[in-house]
A = this chain, B = another copy of it.
Amino acid sequence: MTQDAAPRRSRRGSGAVTLHDVAKLAGVAPITASRAVNTPKRVSAEVLKKVGDAIARTGYVPNLLAGGLASTRSRLVAAVVPTILGPVFLETVQSLTEALAEQGYQVMLGQAGYAGTREDALLEAIIGRRPDGIVLTGIMHSPEGRRRLLASGIPVVETWDLTPTPIDMLVGFSHVAVGQAVAKFLYQKGRRKFAVVAGDDERAKRRLDAFRAAAQELGLPAVRLVVVPAPTTLRSGRGALAQLVRDRDYVDTIFCSSDLLALGVMTEAHALGIQVPAQLAVVGFGDLDFAADLHPALTTVHINGAAIGRQAAQFIVDRAEGRQVDPRVVDIGFSIVDRQST
């Protein structure tokens, strides 16, 4: 603890070990120590060893805030979801986090809320961190928000959708195609009287509209619609079926906008003594973990959420490393998993 004789201005930051300390201990210049840490190939074996020893001895952990400021590369990526409580995007966030972690990036989580309030404050908080990328899942449709993102110059990946006018990069699938495919699939199964139970959510609405249009084209009767608030729950699924029954609106098939809703419909069917699939076919969306193991097993639309996360990570890392990203739009597709509930 050698104090300076004239300690005019002491700041001494956090008091943690710095690269300077390591460099001094190793007997090299700070920048050399920096290279030993970040680009070990561009440094002699001897220096590498000395610096490595010094790090081990001091327990040095690089300050990424300082590094990010100096290099204008924060190695931070923001992921924005409506809410973390919806199980839908979790797989994407998980694989995104993992793929990025492998490359030395961390994920900052932002919850926009379905309402779209706070969007502005959230954007401010995100942009202020100067992340190397922003991954959006199912949100940010206000023109003002899009403008700010664009203005920030930060690479943006939109996911879980295929919009005609992406902000920047895009990995998702067509909700319209899903709606059409499910209608066709059910028609081929011999089902004729459809209902839809859907969360009050823009993309669910697009699936549903396509579904209804396809049903109409197939010459089927009008599709009955029950809208429930987002986020969807088992409870609202139960309520929706109860309502259909109460209205004596008999249908032979229900397409739900989430697996949780489907589970709710099936639960209510069980409680009411309605046989699935004999009397009622149920289709979900998402193919959550539990869908395959329900009784009866749930037919549902499978989205490879993990692949979406990985692709998003790839996009961002590519950009951060200065690589050209092309194409900037990836259609990850979907598949209908045919199980017992239909």
Name the residue of chain B whose CB is nearest to the CB of A94: B84
Q: Which of A42-50, A127-135, A157-165, A189-197 forms contacts with chain B? A: A127-135
A310 to chain B, nearest CB (A): 15
Q: Is the CB of B63 within 8 A of A66?
A: no
Given A90-B84, A238-B293, verify A125-B106 contact (CB < 8 Å): yes
A110 contact set on B, CB distance < 8 A: 97, 106
Copy count, this protein chain: 2
In the complex, whether A295 has a CB less than 8 A from a CB of chain B is: yes
A127 contact set on B, CB distance < 8 A: 61
A321 to B150, CA, bound (A): 34
A267 contact set on B, CB distance < 8 A: 293-295
A293 contact set on B, CB distance < 8 A: 233-235, 238, 264, 267
What are 28 sample pairs from A and B whose C-beta atoms fall under 8 A apart? A14-B72, A59-B151, A63-B130, A65-B68, A65-B130, A66-B69, A76-B108, A76-B129, A83-B94, A84-B84, A85-B289, A87-B87, A97-B109, A97-B110, A98-B111, A101-B121, A101-B125, A106-B108, A106-B109, A106-B110, A106-B125, A108-B108, A108-B109, A233-B290, A235-B292, A235-B293, A264-B293, A267-B295
Q: A64-B128, A85-B289 are in contact. List 18 more A-B contacts (CB 8 A).
A: A16-B152, A16-B153, A59-B148, A61-B127, A66-B69, A76-B129, A84-B84, A84-B90, A94-B111, A101-B125, A106-B108, A106-B109, A108-B108, A108-B109, A233-B293, A234-B293, A235-B290, A264-B293
